[in-house]
Structures are given as C-alpha cells and as structure tokens.
Structure 1
Amino acid sequence: MPALPDQARRPAPAGHMVVCGDDALAERLAAELRELYRMRVTVVVPSLPGAGDAGTGMAGRARAATLFARMQAAVNRTADADAARDVRVLQAPVLDEEALTQADVARADALALVHDDDETNIRAALAARRLNPRLRLVIRLYDRKLGQHLAELLDQAAAVASPGLDPEALDTSTTVLSDADTAAPALAATAVTGTSKVVPADGLLLRAVERTPPGRGEVADPGLCTLALLSATANDPAGAEGSDASGQDGPQLLPDDRTVAAASGRGTVVLETVTHDGPERAPARGLGLPFGSLFSRRLRWSLAGLVLSVLGLAVASWLTTGDHPLHAAYLTLLDIFAIGDPAVGDPVARQVLQLLSGLTGLLLLPVLLAAVLEGLGTFRTASALRRPPRGLSGHVVLLGLGKVGTRVLARLHELGIPVVCVEEDPEARGIPLARRLHVPTVIGDVTQEGVLEATKIHRAHALLAVTSSDTTNLEAALYARSVAPGLRVSLRLYDDAFAVAVYRTLRAAHPEALTRSRSVSTLAAPAFAGAMMGRRILGAIPVERRVLVFAALDVAGHPKLEGRTVAESFRAGMWRVLAIDSAAPDERLPDLAVSPSYDGTEHPSGLVWDLHPGYVLRPQDRVVVAATRQGLAELLGRQARSRTRPTGS
C-alpha cells in the first residue's frame, strides 16, 4: 500500500484526520482540513488495479487514478515543506479493516467516508467503529432515513464499547451528511434572482437575499444584518465576479457597519427574515381528479350543449302538453334513451318533441363514449410524466435529475418556482419525484436538437445545468444563450480554472445576463470539514464563489467568545454572533440543523435573534455564528503555524 510522502520523522500536529473517497469531494475536503484547520490528513483512495474489484469498473479506475494524481501534484507543488509532510496519500484496493488500520484510524480524531457508494461507506463505518469507539465519524449518505438509523446504531455501539464515554461527546460522534442536500439550496438559489438562500436552524429558516445597490436618495434596508458585500466588478464583463478568482475586487464577507456605509454601488447579501419551517405535510387531495382534468374543453362544451337541449325539450313538453314539470321531464328522458312508448295518436307537438328527443339521444351516445374514453385515458396517464404546457413561461429549466438534481428539484418545488426538467435516463433517480410532483419533464439528450426547445427555453426565466458532465452543461448553456441571450444561467462545473474561463467568456458575450458557476464539492466540503472538527454546522451560503458557514457553538471553551459582549465578539471578515439559544441546556435539541419531528405538539424555538450589543456571552450559552472558513478555523483555536522554520531545525 504505497504512501506519499513518508511521515516517519516529523512532529505530528495536534489532530489527525482520515478522509476516504474517490472523487472531488475527498480532494476538496482534504484541502479544507489541511489549509484551513492545519490538521494532519491521511487520504485513502482506491488503487488502480483493485478499483474494478470493488465494483467501480473502468470509470472508477480512471477516477481513482485521476484523484491520486491530483493529490500527488498538490503535495509536490506546495511551497511549505511542513504542509507537504502533513498530507499522506494511501492507495487501497478495498476499503476494509486492513486499509483503515494502515491509515491509523485507531488513533485518529475523525474519519470522513465520502465515497459515492453508500454501501462502501456503511461497511467502512462499521469497521472503523470497532477499531476506535471514540472516533468521530462523518459519513456521506444520500438516503436520509438510512443515515439517521445508521447514526443511532453507531452511537449506540460507541456507548457500549466505551462505558466511560461522555454522553455529550456522543451527540457529535457520528454525523451523516449528503453533499446533494448541502449544495441543493445554494444551487437552487442561484437559478432565480431574488430567491432566498436558506439555512435551517432549530425549525427556523435563515433567509439570505442578494440586494442591488440603492439608487440616489434611497436608503438600503440592512435587515437583521449585512452578511456580505458583493464584488466591485459586478458590472465589468471582464471581471471575475462569480468565480474563485475574484481577487481584491471580490466579495467582502461579514463587513462592519463602517465598511457597509462606505461601499457605494455594491450589492449586498442581507439576512432578511427568520420564518418558521413547519413540518412538511402532504397537500390534501380528493379521491377523484378534478372535472377539468378528466375531460377536455371541447368535450365539456358538448356535454353542456346536450344538457341544455334536454332541458329545452323538457320545458317544451311541459308547455305543450300541460303535464306536471317532473312528468314532462320524465317522458323526455324516456324518449332520449329510446325506452318510451311511440307517441301514436298523440298531438302533433308531442310527436315532434319525441322525434327531437330521439335525435338528441343519438347525439348523446358518442359524447358519452368519448367521455368514458377520455376519463380512462386520464387515469392511465395520471402517473406518467407531464409535458411542458403550451403557454408556459417564467420557469426554471433544470438539466439533470441525478442525486443533486433531485434535491434541487425538491428545493425549487418547496419555494413554489415552476420547473421543467430534462433528463436523458428515463430510470434516473429523480424521475419518480418529478412524476409525484407533476413536474413537466422532457426525456432526451439535452445536446440533441429540439430537446431544449421542448422545454420552452425561449420563455424560461433561468437555466440550471447540474448534470455530472461539464461539457454537457456548457453545451446546453451556450445553446440556450443563443436562443435567449438574456437567460439567467447557472452551471455546475468542477474545475475552477475552467469555470472562470467559462464565466468570463459568457459574461463578455452577454454582459446584461446573469451567469454563475457552482461546484457541489466546493459547496459541500466546508460542512463535511466542520463536522469532522466536532461542531454543529447548520449550513453554508455561497457568496459568488466564496462560502459563508453557519454553525452552532457552545460558548464554553472559546476564549474569543466567553466573557465578551456581542459587540466585542464580532470580528469583521471572520465571524459574527447572530443568535443565542435561550433554551435550558437540558432542553436543547442536540442538533440545531435538524428540525424536530412532528408529533402533534409545537416546538417553540429557543433562538433569540434581536441581540443587545452589550449582552455578555456566558459559558452555558449556545450561539449561532456566521463565519468565513478561515474565521471558523481561528475561532476554534486552529491557528496557522508559522511558515518559518525555527532556528537550528
């Protein structure tokens, strides 16, 4: 099992983290832990010969080889020799107990299992818990229910194996995350200007919105607080706004009031409102479909005409024969259904009405047959995918219904945004969700002619391309822009340099249109790294291509918070206290990021948002903070070590 580089002769930093994965998330997570938190990191990737034996096939072997090469290159080109020695890359044919032992999991502080295969992560988690009951586990799983049960099982196993383990530590011993869940709110928010970016906290929603610069004479509403100032190059087609290469003109996170007041002509990201996030309930539905959905408009008009004809004949029979109205209507119905006696010897008016009633009955038969056929056809296609309506406009076109696309679709539906999906695979993961939500879906290759046109792209509000292929996303975006130059476009792109080049080209060609590029691994890595450090990460909000992290921290043990006032604890560009959990320590939810299950009783939130600047933070307090990744690392005491070697070393 080869390793790079040798770490035998060096002093180890305070913490040791192990990352096991085979894709971009593992690479970015390792970089996050090493560069921001200054931890010693061991990365375990599948080896080239054995990746196929693990079920990953040729694609898995190529992905493992690429990841290993990237990790080697990142270590080799670093200018810090200490940093290079703090990263070790191992290759293992199978992620079993032997591989975990080689990675020194028995003495590690935390283990992240971020393989794309849930079964691989579950097997490794069970083995790791046996090797180290006190190990902090962070597991990547897509299935939420399975993840909840697995976390409970692993915590119980840790408690049984270590009777003396502090129960408070068990609350964070196992964390199950999904990169798709973490990134979906941010990806959905980029598709629609003005749509709030949300982070859950104690059954509430933190809503952050982008605001354009106020006009002359206007006063900007600061909301609860200003989270960021957007790039100064937002109106420059050649600028790097929206990319990781924004430089000094890029966004400023957590600015102080003086900086906000002095920044003229720059947009802001504001924490605007806090609203209840109640339990999700299925919408009430009747037993049958609406009448308008069962029958077409033409058929409804035909039925209405026949009903009026029957009423007219019944009234005419009543007036001409002098019978009781009910008896006249009864005779008319008998004539229509051809079961009445012939009107032989009756007055001429009665005979004429009987003939007209018989003619009406002949017209009624095909209409009834058409109604039956249309009703049966509606029930047969009720579970089929809908086609985009003819007059649809102002919608979001979502490309890809894989893991990420499924979560983005659910988020857009929750926000009430009309969506049209495009998916090449009819058996994709998100197809059942689209069918259940009655979301219009086009099955086909988006690069083929006519597929995007079927989504009414020329009348769409935005295009959100989240397929796993960068070239597919780019090709779809370029074609969509040729059809609708002002279309808002958000691309899921992996390579940052490629994303910057794409952004600048699209911005230069269409300066008036909104363009964004996003990476799921970049958005998800801070949450995974935060969980490995033992905090409760509530979520992350992207500001262009930087990330603002929301976390729940206990004040005790943090010297930069404990004993300070709210105003004194604020550090511009690093962190800011947003709220305090007023609930008693024994009544608090162990994880603020998870809303309490609905059991028929209301759960009043203990979070207080309107904080007095002079309030002194006590050790027993738990606070919600917004922080940059660097600020969160410093807040937790993970200071960057000096890059200069001591004399004589």
Structure 2
Amino acid sequence: MSTLPHHPTPPPRAGHLVVCGDDALAQRLSYELAHVYGEHVTVLLPSVHRNHGPQIDDLARGGGLSVSVVEAAEPTDDALRSAGVSGASALALVYRDDRANIHAALRARRINPRIRLVVRLYNRKLGRHLQELLDRAVAARVGDGSAGEVTTTVLSDADTAAPALVAAAIAGAGKVVQADGLLLRAAERPADERDPAPYLYTLALASDEPGGSPELLPDDAAAAAGRATRGRTVLETISLEESPATPVNRPRLPPGLPVATLFPRRLRYAILGLIALLFVFAGLTWWVTGDPPLRAAYRSILDVFGMGEPALGEGTGRQIVQVLSGLAGLALLPVLFAVVLESLGTFRTATTQRPPPRAIADHVVLLGLGKIGTRVLDRLCDLGVRVVCVERDPQALGITTAHARRVPVVIGDVTREGVLEAAHIGTSRALLALTSDDAINLEAALYAREVDPELRVVLRLFDDDFARTVYGTLRESYPNALTRSRSVSSLSAPAFAGAVMGRQILGAISVEREVLLFAAIEVAGRPELQGRTVAESFRAGMWRVLALDVADPADRRADLGTDAAPQRDLVWELHPGYLLRSTDRVVLAATRQGLAELLRGDRGGMPTG
C-alpha cells in the first residue's frame, strides 16, 4: 500500500509527535497527546478501515484535535519520513508485534538520531537490551554532548495495566509504584476507619454516589472533612529491604514432589504385595534350609527376581520353594512394571496440567492467559494469592507460566456449561475476566453473578465508554457486589503519553475509574513550581509534590524507578515551607490533566534533525 496522508488534517510540522499503530492503545494515546497535552500528532497506521483505524481517522477528521493520519502497510523508511519522523521530537511505536516495533525503532533512530523513542514491547528482557542498544547508538552518532537528552523508553501495556487489574481483584492489596528503593503504596481506607499505619498524603476521596468519579488529590482540609463519611485512598512508603509485604520471587517449582501423584494407590498396593511376598519366601527359605535369617532373605530375593543359582543337590523343600519363588516373580513383576509406567504417565500429566483441588476456596479465577492474563498471573502468584486459570487454547501464551507456577488450569470454553464450575467459581473470592473478547468477558461476569451475587468481578473491556456503561449497569443491578470494568488501553495510555512527552513516569495507580501518575520532573522553567514553596506549589485536583531528589544534578540517576539497589536520593515528607529551586528535581503525583499542564509545550527542549 502506498503512503497516503489523509486530509483535511494539517500536515506534519517540526516538533510534532508521531504514533505508529492501529489498536486501542494507539487510538487512546493519540487522543491523550492531542486532547490532554494539546500537541500535534501524526498517526502512521496500516489502514483506516481495519482495527481501530476508523476511530483514529475520526480523531483526525473531527473534534477540533490536531491529528493527522498517514497510511502505510509497514513502517518503512519512506513511510516514517512521510509521517515526519525526521522533524519530530518523539515517536511512539505501539504496534502489537514486538518485531515490528523493534525494526521501526532502529529505522527511526537512523533517520533522526535525536528523536525520543517510546517502544511498546511485551518481552521485558529484550526491551532492556533494545533500550541499551539504541542509547549507545545515540551516544555514538551525537557528538555535541546532548546525547543524554535523547531517551529511549521501553514500556509494556501488560505490565502497566497488570497492577491495577490485580489491585481491583484483591481486597486490601495495595497498588504500588517503585521509586528509589521504596514502594509507594496506595492503600484503601474505609470511611472513619482508624489508620493501621502512618501515611504520607490522601490521594483521593471516594465518590459520594455509586459509579461517580473520586476526588483526586484533595487538600488537607477536604481530606479531613471527608474522612468520616467517605472512603479514601492514602499513600504509604515501604522499604524494599525491610517490608515483608514486598513481593518476592517465589520458587518456580514446589520444594517437594507430589508423592500421592507419583505413587498412586495401585502402585503402593503392588509394592506392598511384593514386599509381603518377599517376607513369605524369606521365611520359607529360612524354615527349609536352616540358614541365618539375613542369608535366607537374600537367597529368596534372588529367587523371586530370577537371579539365584539353581538349587541342584539341595533338599526337596528348598527346590520347591525356589520354583514357587520364580513363578511368583514371573507373575508379579510384569504387573509391577505396568503400574509403574501408568504412574509415570499420570505424573507427567499432573505436572503439565493440574486440575483444581476439590476443596479449594477463597481463590481468584483468572479467565484468559494471553499477554495481559500472564502478567496478572505472575503478580498474583508473587502476592501469594491462590489462582485457578481458565483458558480455551491449550497452546496459549500463559499456559507455560501456569505450569511453572504450579497453578491449576481448566482447559475449556467459558461460555459452555460446567467450565466455570470446574474452576470452583462458587467458592472463589473474585473473577478476573481478561480475554481479548469483550462478549466472553461480559458473559462470564454475568454467569458468575448468578452463582454468587456478591462476587468481586473485574472485567477487561477494550472500549472505555463501553466499560463505563457496563460498570454502572452492574453496580445498579448488584449494589452489594464490587464490580470493576477496566480498559487496558485507558490504564496504559497515560504512562505512554507521559513518556512521549519526555518526562520520567515512575508509574500509574488507578483510583476507581481515574488514574494518578507518579513522575520525576525538573523544576527549572516551570513557574508553577520554581520559586514557590512546597505548600504553594500544591494544586488540589492537579498535582502534589511528594519528594525531593537531593543528589547532585551531575550525579542524578536517569531512572528512579529502577530495580537496582536503592540509593536513598529522595527525601520524603518535605517541609511545607521548603522553597523549590531551579536546580531541583521533584517526584510528584498528578492527574493526567495536571501533568499535561505542567509539561505543556515542553518536550525536552531538544533540537530536531
């Protein structure tokens, strides 16, 4: 297909943003950048008639957004140049195929060495290698000392959305973001409950009405006033070194083998029969030969297994016992070998596909083991939550992970009767419906509601408007049950948009249907922060400064959210009167609109090639 810009949208201009992809994340990301941040966005997609192409084309043709669309079957050099990559300040590669994103990233870096890249990759290990490779390429090609301003960020929508999905399914599980060796945990507190532990700030107050939006980042007076009547979400800090609540890497295999599976009842009976037979013939041999007991037992074992010398020249009784021992061995050993082989086959089946235990309860039923489901399964296992998976494709991506984690898997179509029963949905604590089909997820949720009207249900729905409608309807139909409907694209898009804008996004935490972003930004050039005290810089519903990076500007780490050893460069619980200087870097919590206002017009200040 030839590259063809669509009109009447404006053509690409220097300093604009480019998004490559045509799925829900590409659509949501384009909307975030154009609507929330007010940037001009060029979307490169295979076709405006497939996937989410029509919706992206609608963004370009109406709504007053500065969005243009370029069609190209593949992100070739010519296609990227037609989308304006040579003059763009940032490029987001969000194709569903990791390979296509990698190839496009390499091409884009060659066309414009100074462009900021945000690459969507599911493979986290490959993503780290790619990030290092592209950053080294920049250092080699950019010789004016500005290579440090050019960034490559590798993100996974599955990793970004998984914490919110897990937190929605587990009552009391904190939603966490890592920063400088600490975990920032957003913990939910019911109305008028005594706080079990100190916390830093109140992040949100629950809505007064079912299905309403929470009040994000309230001021201290509003938080105190709403504490008695409204639930709230508070921010805690937890040390990675000291906290027992920190997820740990659990062993992939259990410490012991399943003895009951490796030695089933028939095998145990056969072994016991063989041992009893050996005792009988050992006693007979000792009785007829007069040998010491140990020697008699040894000779009888050899006779049963056909390894003894013929009893020529010995007494008649000894010869009769030897013949009987040989006949018993000939009859019993084939049966024993058959039972052993059957047991090994059963063991192999059990280790590759474990059915749920009959008495399992208080577990989470996870429906769908694709990319999102696999990441959610990993997090649930790290938290020590019992899980039963349901997947209709025995070759699905997450089947291997489930086997390695020793998680029971029910293979079957959830729309058929008996599949959810096999997963013991009636005794579970929550249902996570994460397949790629909205209809299947909704059908599973409705069936689970019939089994248990108060069951906690979390739905993955692609369309955010549809998710909002389903959420409201289920809340009205089942007022005593907790229902969450989540669009993965809406959960992931804020983090991707923040990375495209050039700031370090430490993570995102969902609060009801809203999202709070945690970012590390420079104070310089931001009148909303620079020259103001911490108290003066706070804007309710928009942003709040949480911590100060006290490291020397020349020695600051590029990534505060790294998994490396903590450096303790951040100072928390800042004095309200501390004056923010131009050389400071702060960590703040912000709504999407608040972060967009702080970063509006700022894309790192890099010259374009």
1:168-567 matches, cutoff 5 A: 168-170=148-150, 173-214=151-192, 218=194, 223-233=199-209, 239-240=210-211, 246=212, 250-263=213-226, 264-276=228-240, 283=251, 289-296=257-264, 299-300=267-268, 368-369=336-337, 372-381=340-349, 383-567=351-535
Instruction: Tell me the CA shift for residue 628 of structure 1.
Output: 0.7
Alignment counterpart, residue 128 of structure 2, candidates 143, 148, 151: 148
Q: Structure 1 residues 292, 562: closer, same or farther in 2, change over 3 A?
A: farther
Other structure's SS at 1:63 match:
coil
1:62 to 39, 47, 50: 50
State the secondary structure of the residue aligned to 1:446.
coil
Give the deviation of 1:381 after TM superposition. Answer: 2.7
Could you say which residue in structure 2 is the equivalent of 1:52? none
Q: Deviations over 1:52-84 (max 9, x none)?
A: xxxxxxxxx531543344324xx52x3xxxx44
The one-letter amino acid of 2:6's match is A
TM-score of the superposition, structure 2-length normalised?
Answer: 0.85
Output the CA distance in 2 between the equivalents of 1:200 and 1:63: 34
SS at match of 2:431: strand
**Cα offset, 1:314, TM superposition:** 8.7
Offset at residue 191 of structure 1 (A): 1.2
Which of 27-36 and 356-365 deviates more?
356-365
Question: Quick one: which amino acid aligns to residue 466 of structure 2?
Answer: F
Task: Indicate the residue corresponding to 2:605 in structure 1.
Answer: none
Q: Which residue of 2 aligns with 1:106?
A: 86
CA contact (8 A) 1:18 1:43 kept: yes
Q: Deviations along 1:404-427, whole A, 9 cap, x unmatched?
A: 111111111111111111222222
2:572 pairs, out of 591, 594, 609, with 609
Instruction: Check whether the contact 1:105–1:128 (CA below 8 A) recurs between aligned residues.
Output: yes
Q: Distance in 2 between matches of 1:396 and 1:593?
A: 29
CA 459–363 in structure 1, closer or farther in 2 if over 3 Å, else same: farther
In the superposition, relative to structure 1, how do residues 479 and 286 fare at CA in structure 2: closer, same or farther (>3 Å)? Answer: closer
**Deviations, residues 600-646 of structure 1 (Å, cap 9, x unaligned):** xx55443333444444444444332111111112223559xxxxxxx
> Is the contact made by 2:253 and 2:405 (CA closer than 8 Å) also made in structure 1?
no
Question: What amino acid sits opposite 1:30 in the alignment?
Answer: S
Letter in structure 1 aligned against 2:586: V
Are the structure 2 counterparts of residues 174 and 323 from structure 1 closer, same or farther at C-alpha, using a change threshold of 3 Å?
same
Q: Which residue of 2 aligns with 1:21?
A: 21
| Alignment RMSD (CA, Å) | 3.8
1:7 equivalent among 6, 10, 16: 10
Deviation at 1:356, TM superposition (A): 12
- Deviation of the 1:540 alpha carbon: 0.7
Aligned-residue offset at 1:487: 1.4
Which amino acid counterpart does residue 266 of structure 1 have in structure 2?
R
Q: Distance in 2 between matches of 1:133 and 1:318?
A: 90
Map of 1:36 onto structure 2: 36
CA contact (8 A) 1:214 1:220 kept: no
Q: Which amino acid is the alignment partner of residue 42 of structure 2?
A: T
**Residue number in structure 1 paired with 2:606:** none
Moved more, 415-424 or 602-611: 602-611
TM (normalized to structure 1)?
0.80
Change (3 A) 1:604 1:326: farther
Deviations 1:112-164 (A, max 9, x none): 11121223322322222222221111111212222222222322333333211
Alignment check: 8 A CA contact 2:27 2:52 kept = no
Structure-2 change in CA distance of 1:294 and 1:97 (3 Å): same
Q: CA deviation at 1:174?
A: 1.3
Residue 643 of structure 1 aligns with which residue?
none
How far off is 1:295 after superposition? 1.4
Gap regions ≥5 residues in structure 2: 603-609
Deviates more, 1:603-612 or 1:15-24: 603-612
- Following the alignment from structure 1 to structure 2, what is the Cα–Cα distance between the partners of residues 333 and 95? 74
Q: Is the 8 A contact 1:4 1:90 kept in 2?
A: no
Question: What is the SS of the residue equivalent to 1:4?
Answer: coil
Deviation, structure 1 residue 395? 1.3
Local SS of the residue matching 1:5: coil
Query: CA 1:180–1:375 in 2, change beyond 3 Å: closer, same or farther?
Result: same
* Separation (CA, whole Å) in 2 of partners of 1:528 and 1:266: 32
- Code of the residue aligned with 1:268 in structure 2: it is R
1:287-324, Cα deviation, whole Å (9 max, x unpaired): 983534421356557757876998899999999x9997
| Pair 286,326 (structure 1): closer, same or farther in 2 beyond 3 Å | farther
Q: Distance in 2 between matches of 1:318 and 1:612?
A: 91
In structure 1, the gaps of 5 or more residues are 49-60, 234-238, 241-245, 597-601, 640-649
What is aligned with 1:622?
585
Structure 1 counterpart of 2:112, from 132, 135, 147: 132
Give deviations 1:200-258, integer Å, cap 9, x for gaps: 2234432222222235xx5675523221112212xxxxx32xxxxx3xxx201111221
> Helix, strand or coil for the counterpart of 1:468?
coil
C-alpha contact 1:25 1:114 (8 A) present in aligned 2: yes
| CA distance, structure 1, for counterparts of residue 470 and residue 599 of structure 2 | 37
With over 3 angstroms needed to count, the CA separation of the structure-2 counterparts of 1:302 and 1:200, relative to structure 1, is farther
Q: Give the conservation status (yes or no) of the 8 Å contact 2:249–2:382.
A: no
Helix, strand or coil for the counterpart of 1:381?
helix
Q: Distance in 2 between matches of 1:152 and 1:194?
A: 37
Q: Structure 1 counterpart of 2:425, which letter?
A: I
* Structure 1 residues 325 and 551: CA distance shift in structure 2, 3 A: farther
Indicate conservation of the 8 Å contact 2:47/2:72, yes or no: yes
Q: Is the 8 A contact 2:431 2:445 kept in 1?
A: yes
1:243 corresponds in structure 2 to none
Cα deviation digits, residues 325-359 of structure 1 (max 9, x gap): 7567657767876869799699xxx99x9999999
- Is this contact kept in 1: 2:248–2:382, CA < 8 A? no
Provide closer, same or farther for how the CA distance between residues 448 and 284 of structure 1 changes in structure 2, counting only shifts above 3 A: closer
**Secondary structure at 1:185's aligned position in 2?**
helix
Q: What is the alpha-carbon distance in structure 2 between the residues aligned to residue 90 and residue 296 of structure 1?
A: 64
CA distance 1:100–1:510, shift in 2 (3 Å): same
CA contact (8 A) 1:71 1:89 kept: no
Deviation at 1:440, TM superposition (A): 1.3
Count the aligned residue pairs: 591
Give the partner amino acid of 2:220.
D
Which range is displaced more, 116-125 or 529-538?
116-125
